[in-house]
Structure 1
Amino acid sequence: MSQTQKLLQFHELELDQRILKAIAQLGWVQPTLIQSTAIPLLLEGKDVVVRARTGSGKTATYALPLIQKILNSKMNASEQRVSALVLCPTKELCRQSRQVIEQLAESCGKVVRVADIAGSSNDVATQRHALAERPDIVVATPSKLLAHADVVDLQHIETLVVDEADLIFAFGYEKDFKRLIKHLPPIYQAVLVSATISDDVARMKGLCLHNAVTLKLEEPDLVSLDQLSHQRILAEENDKPAILCALLKLTLIQGKSIIFVNNVDRCYKVRLFLEQFGIRSCVLNSELPANIRIHTISQFNRGVYDIIIASDEHLLEKPAGQKAKDKSQRDHESSASRGIDFQGVNNVINFDFPRDVTSYIHRAGRTARGNNKGSVLSFVSIKELPVNQAVEERLRCSLGKEPHLTVDALSDEPQKPAVEDIIKLYQFKMEEVEAFRYRAQDCWRAATRVAVHDTRIREIKNEILNCEKLKGFFEENKRDLLALRHDKPARTIKVQSHLAHVPDYILPSALKRVALARPNTLAAKQTRTTGAKSAYQRQSNDPLMVSEVDYGKRRGAPKRRKAK
C-alpha cells in the first residue's frame, strides 16, 4: 500500500452505528494507517499478522472488527457463548485491552460482554463465576485461561487474538499456548499483533494461522524530533543525585515524569532520596504484586503522583541456558519499559542509562504518545558513551523511514536523514549547582542498603495486613497478627523539613530569575520579578525546561556596575 493512497475513514469500514458512536465519543477523527488497512481484512475473516510499533492503534485494530463480528453473530445466535479469546502476556496488558474493548462497545449496551480473568481479581472463585456467565470475549494470559479450561467451553471460539505476540513465548508461555491451542476448534480466525516479527512470532504463526496476511507498518521506532526531543547530561555516579535534585527542585523538568533505573533496589533508593526533599513519587517493579502494580499505574495516570520510578530489568533477554529467577522473588509478567499504557507522560529520565539500544527505544516510547510532545533526558557516564553512540546511530537510521505499509514483504533499507545530533547535549554545568551537591550527597548516603531493605520489608508487611485472602487466617490466629504488628519497627530515614525548600542563596545565578518565576519554589512566593515572569512564560511550552536561552545569555551577560 503506497503512502499516497487514500485511507478509508471509520464510516467507510462497514462498522455498526453503535461502534461509530463510541468512536466519536472517544474523539477519534480518522483511523490510523494500520487500522484502515487491517480492519477490512479482518472483517472478511482472514488470518492477519499485524506488525506496528507501540502507540499506532494496534488494540483498536483488532477490537473494532471483533465487536462487529460479535454483533453480526448475535443476530442469529440461539444461546450465549464465548466466541472470542484475547491473549496478552501480562496482567496489565489484559486490563488495558479489556478497557479499550469496553470503551468501543459502550454504546452496544449489554449485547457485548467482556471478562478479564487475569488482571481483575486473583480470586479463583470470582474468575470461575465470570466464566460461568459465558461472556462474549475473554481476556487472559495463556496460563490463566488454561487453568480454567474445564469451566469455559472453547469449542465455539470463532476468533483468537494474541496481543504483543512477540512477548508471549519470551515470558515463558510457549508450553501453555501449545496446550491451549488443542482446546480450540479446528476452524477459527486468528490475529497476531506484535511490535516486532521475531522467531517466536513465526513459530506461533505456524501453530494457529492459515494462509495469513502479514501487514508490516514500516515507520520510525520513535516519533519525529519535533515531537520528541532527546538530550543527555554527562554525569558520573556521584553527580547524578545532585543533578536530579537540582532539575526537580528548580522545576527545570515540568509535568509527569518516569525515572528509569536498572534494578529494583535503585527504585527504592531514588524514592527515599527524593522523599527527603519533599518530592512525592511511587515505585513500579517486577517484585510488586500484580494488584499493586495496576493500582500504582492507575494512580500515576490519574495524577495522584507526578513521578514514577520504574526498574527496567532484562527479563526479556535471558542468555541461553540461564534459568529464570525464583518466581517468589520476581513476576516475569512485569515490564515497565514496554506494554504498559502510561498516560500523559511529559518526560522520561534515564537516571541509569539503558544497557542496550532496544531498552532505550522502549523507554522513550512511554512519552510523546498521540499528539503530545515529550522529552527524554539521559544521564550518561564515560563508560556508557558507546551505548549512547549506538542509540544515536539507531535513531538516525530509524528517523529516515517514511511511514508506509507493506503486505507480506520487507521494506527497503531506510535512508539516513540529514540530522547531525539526535541526542543533544543538555546545557547544564555542575559548578552552577555546587550548592545542591552537599545536600544531595548527604541524602543519597542516608538511603543506605539497610534503609532500602527496611522500606521493602515495611511494604511487604502492609501488603500482608491488607491482604483480603489472609483476613480469615488472622481472625483465627490473632497471635500471629499481633506478632506481625508488634514486630521490630523498621528503621526509617529522618526527613528534615527544611530540605523541601530551596533558599535563595543556593540558587545558581544563571538560573535564578527563571527559578524564582516558578510557583513551586519557596523563593517564588516571596519574590517575583517582571523579567523572570516573562522568561517563564517564554519557556512554558517546553516540558523539559532547556536552559539554553536563559543559561547562555545570562552567562555571557555583562555584570551590572555597582553604584558609587
Structure 2
Amino acid sequence: MSFDSLGLSADILRAVAEQGYREPTPVQRQAIPVVLAGRDLLASAQTGTGKTAGFTLPLLQRLSTSPVAAKGRRPVRALILTPTRELAAQVGENVRDYSKYLNLRSLVVFGGVSINPQMMKLRGGVDILVATPGRLLDLVHQNAVDLSQVEILVLDEADRMLDMGFIHDIRRVLAKLPPKRQNLLFSATFSDEIKTLAEKLLHNPESVEVARRNTASEQVSQHVHLVDKKRKRELLSYLIGRDNWQQVLVFTRTKHGANHLAEQLGKDGITAAAIHGNKSQGARTRALADFKSGGIRVLVATDIAARGLDIEELPHVVNYELPNVPEDYVHRIGRTGRAAATGAALSLVCVDEHKLLRDIERLLKREIPRMAIAGYEPDPSIRAEPIQNGRQQPSRGRGAGNGQGRPQGDRRAAPRQHSGYAGDNARSRRPAAKKQGIA
C-alpha cells in the first residue's frame, strides 16, 4: 500500500514524498482512514511506529478541505495536547513539514520560555495549536487563546500525561472545548486509567492497536549484565571501547547521576554530555545536536528523553540504572529499533535492582537474556540495599519520589512525576529527526 491510496490530497502527498517516505506504517494504514471519516479514535501504538503522522496527515486533510467560511482572525480548529516540550516540538515540526503546501498556520506553545511571543503569534490566528497542558491553560486564563471553535482534539502520549498528573489540566481544557468535535486519543499502553478516560472522552470510537499491550519493540535485542553498582561505569567504558560504540544513549535515574556519569566518562576519554530538565535551553540543544552529528559518543539522559526524543538509527541504548516504573523500560529502549531500523538495549543491573528487573520481565512476560563478561562478575557477598533518592517510597504513587520535585514550569502538575521529566519546564526546542520512519 502507498500513501496515494489513503485519500490524501496531492499537496500533502508531495510534502510526504519530499520527506522521503513512500509507504505508510501499520498504524498509519489503520488510523488515517478512520480520522478522514470523522470518527473518534482510540489508538495504541508503541513508540517509533509512526503514530504522529497517523493523526497529523488526516487532520491536515480534513482542515484543508473544509476551510472556515467566516472572515477575520483564524480560529484554532485543531488542538494537539502533548505531555512534554520535546514531544510538542517534534509534533509541531511534523505538522509544519506536511502542511508545507497548504494554506494552514500552526503554532507550538509550551512552558519554560516567555509566554509573550506565543501570545503575539496567537493574535495573528492559527489553525492548528500544539501545546503542553500547563502553558495552554496559562494562555486561556490570559484570554490569549479561544478554544470554542476546535473541531479536532488530539491527546498524544495520553498515558504519559496521566502519569505526570495532567488529568486535572486535561479536564480543564476539555471544559473550554465545544461539545461537538472529533477526538483522537493515542497511547503507548491501554491501562485501566486510559480506558476510563477514553470512555468519557470518545464517542463510539474505532480502536487501533498495532502492538501487543506493553511490549518492547521486537526489533530491539535486549540483554542484562549483572554487575556490582560500583563497577557499572567501568564496565560501560569497557564496552564502549571494546566494541567501538559511536552513538550510545544512556539512562540514569537522577539528574545528578546523569551529570556525574557524563563527567566520569569524559575522564575515561569518552566524549559525553548529559541532558535533563535542569539543563539550560542552550546546553540541551547543543548536547542533542552534538550527539546526532557524532560530536559526542554518549548522551546521558534522565527519563525526559524516554518520550519525544527521536534520533535517526540510534544503535545502542544502555540502562545504567533500571527505571522504577516497568513501563518506562519499554519507552527507554524504544529510542532504538525505530521504524525499519534494529538496535540493541543493554541493562546494567546491580543487586539492589533485582526486584525492578523482575517487575520489568513480568511486564514483558519473558526473561531478558543475561550476558557476562569475564572480570565483571558481581560479588555474591554484597547485600541489596534500598535504592536511594526516594525511588521506592510506595506512598508517593507510581513513578513518584525521584528526589527532583515536580515540574517547576507548570505548577498545576501533580506529583506523579518520572525521574528527570520536566513537563512544561523543558528548556530546549528539539528539531525533529528525519528519515527515521515517518514521524
For this structure pair, what is the TM-score category when the shorter chain's length is used for normalisation? 0.7 to 0.9
Per the alignment, residue 108 of structure 2 pairs with: 116
Counterpart contact for 2:77–2:150, Cα < 8 Å:
yes
C-alpha distance in 2 between matches for 1:295 and 1:205: 39
Per the alignment, residue 500 of structure 1 pairs with: none
**By how many angstroms is 1:186 displaced?**
2.4
Q: Deviations for 1:175-231, whole angstroms, at most 9, x for unmatched residues?
A: 22222222212211111111112233234334432222222224372233xx42222
Per the alignment, residue 174 of structure 2 pairs with: 181
Matched, 1:248 2:240: yes
**By how many angstroms is 1:232 displaced?**
2.8
Per the alignment, residue 362 of structure 1 pairs with: 331
Matched, 1:430 2:375: yes
C-alpha distance in 2 between matches for 1:290 and 1:207: 37
Per the alignment, residue 187 of structure 2 pairs with: 194
Counterpart contact for 1:234–1:380, Cα < 8 Å:
yes
Matched, 1:84 2:98: no
Structure 1 segment 115-514 matched on structure 2, within 5 A: 115-118=107-110, 122-149=113-140, 150-219=143-212, 221-224=215-218, 227-250=219-242, 252-289=243-280, 292-312=283-303, 335-355=304-324, 357-392=326-361, 394-395=363-364, 397=366, 422-426=368-372, 428-430=373-375
**By how many angstroms is 1:289 displaced?**
4.7
Given residue 81 of structure 2, which amino acid in structure 1 is its aligned partner?
A: L
Per the alignment, residue 74 of structure 1 pairs with: 67
Q: Deviations for 1:479-530, whole angstroms, at most 9, x for unmatched residues?
A: xxxxxxxxxxxxxxxxxxxxxxxxxxxxxxxxxxxxxxxxxxxxxxxxxxxx
Given residue 255 of structure 1, which amino acid in structure 2 is its aligned partner?
A: Q
Residues 45 and 423 of structure 1, relative CA distance in 2, 3 Å threshold: same
Per the alignment, residue 388 of structure 2 pairs with: none
Counterpart contact for 2:28–2:53, Cα < 8 Å:
yes
Residues 156 and 392 of structure 1, relative CA distance in 2, 3 Å threshold: closer
Counterpart contact for 1:229–1:376, Cα < 8 Å:
yes
Per the alignment, residue 53 of structure 1 pairs with: 46
Residues 351 and 167 of structure 1, relative CA distance in 2, 3 Å threshold: closer
SS at match of 2:222: strand
**By how many angstroms is 1:298 displaced?**
4.0
Q: Deviations for 1:422-453, whole angstroms, at most 9, x for unmatched residues?
A: 42414x21289xxxxxxxxxxxxxxxxxxxxx
C-alpha distance in 1 between matches for 2:139 and 2:282: 20
**By how many angstroms is 1:287 displaced?**
2.8
Per the alignment, residue 489 of structure 1 pairs with: none
Q: TM-score normalized by structure 1? A: 0.61
Residues 124 and 360 of structure 1, relative CA distance in 2, 3 Å threshold: closer
Residue of 93, 99, 109 corresponding to 1:105? 99
Q: Which moved more, 1:302-311 or 1:39-48?
A: 302-311
**By how many angstroms is 1:146 displaced?**
1.6
C-alpha distance in 2 between matches for 1:169 and 1:387: 22
Instruction: Choose between structure 1 and 2: higher helix proportion.
Output: 1
Aligned residues: 373
**By how many angstroms is 1:15 displaced?**
0.5
Given residue 97 of structure 2, which amino acid in structure 1 is its aligned partner?
A: Q
C-alpha distance in 1 between matches for 2:326 and 2:75: 45
Given residue 306 of structure 2, which amino acid in structure 1 is its aligned partner?
A: S
C-alpha distance in 2 between matches for 1:167 and 1:386: 23
**By how many angstroms is 1:291 displaced?**
6.2
Structure of higher RCO (CA pairs closer than 8 Å, 6+ residues apart):
2
**By how many angstroms is 1:25 displaced?**
1.6
Residues 422 and 181 of structure 1, relative CA distance in 2, 3 Å threshold: closer
Q: Give the structure with higher Rg (CA).
A: 1
Given residue 173 of structure 2, which amino acid in structure 1 is its aligned partner?
A: L
C-alpha distance in 2 between matches for 1:429 and 1:74: 66
Residue of 13, 19, 28 corresponding to 1:26? 19
Given residue 106 of structure 2, which amino acid in structure 1 is its aligned partner?
A: V
Counterpart contact for 2:90–2:308, Cα < 8 Å:
no
Q: Deviations for 1:289-311, whole angstroms, at most 9, x for unmatched residues?
A: 56654554344334333211112
Per the alignment, residue 439 of structure 1 pairs with: none
> Aligned-residue CA RMSD in angstroms?
2.5
Counterpart contact for 2:50–2:339, Cα < 8 Å:
no
Q: Deviations for 1:315-373, whole angstroms, at most 9, x for unmatched residues?
A: xxxxxxxxxxxxxxxxxxxx232343233321111222344532322221111112222
Counterpart contact for 1:392–1:423, Cα < 8 Å:
no
Counterpart contact for 2:40–2:204, Cα < 8 Å:
yes
Counterpart contact for 2:233–2:265, Cα < 8 Å:
no
Q: Structure 1, unaligned stretches of length 5 or more?
A: 1-7, 313-334, 398-420, 433-564
C-alpha distance in 2 between matches for 1:205 and 1:359: 22
Identical positions, percent:
31
Residues 352 and 143 of structure 1, relative CA distance in 2, 3 Å threshold: closer
**By how many angstroms is 1:385 displaced?**
4.0
Given residue 271 of structure 1, which amino acid in structure 2 is its aligned partner?
A: A
Residues 41 and 131 of structure 1, relative CA distance in 2, 3 Å threshold: same
**By how many angstroms is 1:280 displaced?**
1.7
